[in-house]
Chains A and B, each alone.
Chain A
């Protein structure tokens, strides 16, 4: 997982200088982002996709933490993936 090599800070869109993918749980409340990579156990990936969480989707963080509450296409989904999967997002600028 190459993204783990980055040092991660809690980030909101306005702080982004470049397209640095972040684990979804680091997205600050009310910040938007786009899912750029998902990795983990195949069945977990399939389940996420069935719920509408897939690469290219725009997300908004409603409540940060573990579990976190995200909003995808108007639907709120609570999420705690643990070690079974990782979702990386690029926060939107502005």
Chain B
């Protein structure tokens, strides 16, 4: 397994480059481990560490977030700067920086290289996507560039695993020879005018007199970046005069003809132009590329929007159409496992724990693996082919109406898979206000944990009506509506948050859209697999533990002696009947089998009596259990939503993780009803559940919709709330999210039930 952080005895190298230079693909090719690869900026928001495979020494590779510059403005870019400067606690400073350039866009990519070179680290330049050089009509002389830069240059095509071995050898060679260290000090001196260096010297001396020891690079950035990362840090650290000192220095620079910050970009691009002169030749193309022609339609204001809705429609119809068969298979396996355990173990606490707690609980969640696989498959394909960034472009117009920008769309779209990476992806948003609003509405997006709840309710209570020759289903449309409900509610919520909590104009929208490409099967497989494994692990840990706790709360404190005896009697009679049927002579060919044997019919009625006794015992025990006691206490609160106490406790139990409701309902109904070999699982149990007082069904279409609306809007995920706490560094915002979402969910569920109770 790869390490989460670098090990003490390992050499450390860092991968850095502009967004979408194939950095994550290169990381996978070097380390042979999974990392998310996307076609839009900022997909790698977390620092990732892998171990270089096939090298003599232990070498750890840090995959840094993609950045256009070391002038950090977003939290994401600050991570890259901090790692390269060795400012991350318990994280060794990288010995080599591997700068990845898009071989087809060398000029802009060298801008970042020039900043990294100044940090004083040995640098290796990787010209990735080398195959695009010829396809885009470019001529790049890598050898000449290597000579001019004074650092090794390796050409790779990471997605085709080309040039990887050469890169590994170059990394080893650079780590072995410290002479590769560049003359960064002279490089920086030559880049900027002497007046700038005089100001840097003056400010450094002043900072040292105040007891600070900043590096030359940090002072450079303090002076250049207006309201940049280092300025914010140093201002927060309690140096009252620093802001005035910086302003004075900038004013003197401006007077001397060195206008901050533009003198930096001018100087660096002048250096880049000189460097690539004769080494990179681009043929002027005046015609539109195939991507341009597609973009003319897909980024069109109306056509683009309609296409996006159409894509979402296809996704959710596919989930209902294609997941049925594998889902039935998993349910069959679940039933076989339960029968197997029942055949081996006598009725009692252990058997109940395995069958009702583990198989009924965890198994109930695992059943939804096919739907989740289909959802992730579509998301991965859309990301990898480059469509997601276009969707962000199309959505920018809509997002500005609520005060956000298209940049918020990508974290929100990620939240459709899971809110945790979605919230972390908000680090790419430079404007703090936009970031906060996006972060607070991200949990409203319908994550994959909600999908099982919707699928269960929709398949059990929404009529299986089909249109257009069976290609469009009512269930699919309801599913799509539920998946979109959170996003629809997020629009007014974002508007209110922006209006009252974070007022201001929408931030500017600047984003690079990469050429369309065929999605890579390897990348798709990796992403879907990664997600499924994490879902199964979650089912096997958190949901497993909760299932056990719920089982215990339903099983205890009742005395199960009489129930166990009744179950044993029932099973004995059932096996007697089976034996009697087996002993009957086979019916002659062509005639009907003799089913009405009086002794079998007599036995069957005895089985029915025993079953009735078992049901009565179970109901009595579940009513008197700990969970039953709690359930009856909260029933007045949940009754206006159309829920009985069982649904109420299942919802309360699912506050740590929303998919727990399936496991909880599975356990409650498994323990509290007549589950026999003909039972069709939880769905069937719910369909036959009745109110004890009037015998009416507990679940109606109104109840199912009310539960789904509650789940669409409620903050039932401890991991999401903890992530909000971590990202905002305050308890205020997770508490705020929890309160506003739970209130919204309760009101939404109540309104839904009240509207549909008369309809259904």
Which chain A residues have a beta carbon within 8 Å of chain B's beta carbons?
29-30, 32, 42-52, 54, 60, 62-63, 65-67, 69, 71, 73-85
Contact = CB atoms under 8 A, between A and B. Distances in A.
A81 B288 contact: no
A73 B510 contact: no
Given A49-B262, A67-B397, A76 B512 contact: yes
B225 A71 contact: no
Given A47-B510, A76-B513, A80-B396, A62 B261 contact: no
B385 to A, nearest CB: 15
B265 A69 contact: no
A54 B288 contact: no
A73 B138 CA distance: 11
A26 B396 CA distance: 19
A6 to B, nearest CB: 23
10 contacts: A42-B261, A47-B68, A49-B265, A50-B108, A63-B295, A67-B396, A74-B282, A76-B291, A77-B510, A81-B510
B265 A62 contact: no
B104 interface: yes
Contact of B512 (A45, A62, A77): A77
Given A52-B107, A63-B300, 20 more contacts: A30-B288, A32-B286, A46-B69, A46-B225, A46-B226, A46-B261, A47-B68, A51-B68, A51-B108, A52-B105, A52-B108, A67-B393, A67-B406, A73-B282, A74-B136, A76-B295, A78-B513, A79-B509, A80-B406, A83-B505
A71 B284 CA distance: 12
Given A67-B393, A76-B512, A46 B292 contact: no
B388 to A, nearest CB: 13
Nearest to B265: A49
Contacts of A60: 286
A30 B512 CA distance: 18
B740 interface: no
Interface residues on B, range: 35 or more
B374 to A, nearest CB: 30
A42 B262 contact: yes
Q: Which 9 A-B pairs have the closest CB atoms?
A: A49-B265, A52-B108, A80-B509, A50-B69, A50-B68, A46-B261, A76-B513, A78-B393, A63-B299
A65 B515 CA distance: 20
Contacts of B261: 42-43, 45-46
Nearest to A66: B397
B269 A49 contact: yes
A84 B504 CA distance: 13
Contacts of B296: 29, 62-63
B107 to A, nearest CB: 7
Contacts of B511: 77-78
